Amino acid sequence: MLEVWGTYEDMDHRFFVDHPITSAQAILAGSEAHHLQHVLRGSVGDEVILLDGSGHEFVARVTRLARAHVELVVLESRLVDRELPREMVMGVALPKADRQRWLIEKLVELGVARVVPLRTQRSVVHPDQQSLVKLQRSVKEASKQCGRTRLLEVAEIVPLADYLQTTPASASKWIADPAGTSPASIPTGASSYYLAVGPEGGWADDELSLARAAGWHAVSLGARILRIETACLVLAALLGTIYHRGTEDTERASPRKDL
């Protein structure tokens, strides 16, 4: 049976609802309802935190346990900003199988805003729509675990050339390359960061030439050859550390006007 907590800090059970919360009533369905009812043994009167991807956390009380859904009343909302102060987008030739899910989970924790699967000359994984839907589910699970209130977006796969040539002019663009320069030599302070990590076979020479022509900085991540997911985490952690705001997250209780 769930405990009933008295403060936000004590509540550690978070659930994603399928639709934006715009009233004082909310419904959990599907796997989220199953988890509350049958895994956590929830009951009427329990209080939980609901998330809808809007940046708010909603304190809600269970009012009814139905067979296929859970009904709740929203008691209060809190605007929570745990995002990095500058947008980080990761373009990556995804690794195989379960390594994809693990990578997405860690990028959620590190504050990446969007992941763009890349189709490169040496890619071996080309995720279809069903695979992307599964990855987005992993985003929700990781977000609940780390307390993130805005969802990382998993975009559809795009050719590398499109990704390299359509980034905002104001963004700083880093492509991982063992022959590149140290990240410390590249100025920081851009409005956003676009990153690119290639497949296990590495970039083709003409891909690197295209990146340089499009204004990308080739950055080396050390003397050793890193796996795809390791390189992604190094880049994300490096920039996330530079712009980490510590305890300066914006958290304020603010009843929603439309509730």
pLDDT tens profile 121-170: 999 999 999 999 999 999 999 999 898 999 999 999 999 999 999 999 89
Q: What is the pLDDT of residue 35?
A: 87
**Domains of the chain listed by start with CATH number:** 8-81 (2.40.240.20), 87-242 (3.40.1280.10)
pTM: 0.82
Q: How far is CA 216 from the centre of its chain?
A: 23
Structure confidence by residue, pLDDT tens digits, 174-227? 999 999 998 877 777 788 999 999 999 999 999 999 999 999 999 999 989 999
Task: Tell me the C-alpha distance between 52 and 216, whole Å.
Answer: 35
Task: Tell me the C-alpha distance between 180 and 183, whole Å.
Answer: 9
111 three-state secondary structure: coil
Task: Tell me the C-alpha distance between 174 and 104, whole Å.
Answer: 19
Cα distances from 127 to residues 11, 133, 249, in angstroms, run 36, 10, 34
Contact in structure between 171 and 191 (CB atoms under 8 Å):
yes
Q: How far is CA 253 from the centre of its chain?
A: 24
**Helices (runs of H) and strands (runs of E) counted in the chain:** 6, 13
Average pLDDT over residues 86-113: 95
Task: Tell me the C-alpha distance between 18 and 26, whole Å.
Answer: 10
Indicate whether 9 pLDDT > 60: no
Strands 114-119 and 25-29: unpaired
Strands 56-65 and 25-29: unpaired
Indicate whether 245 pLDDT > 50: no
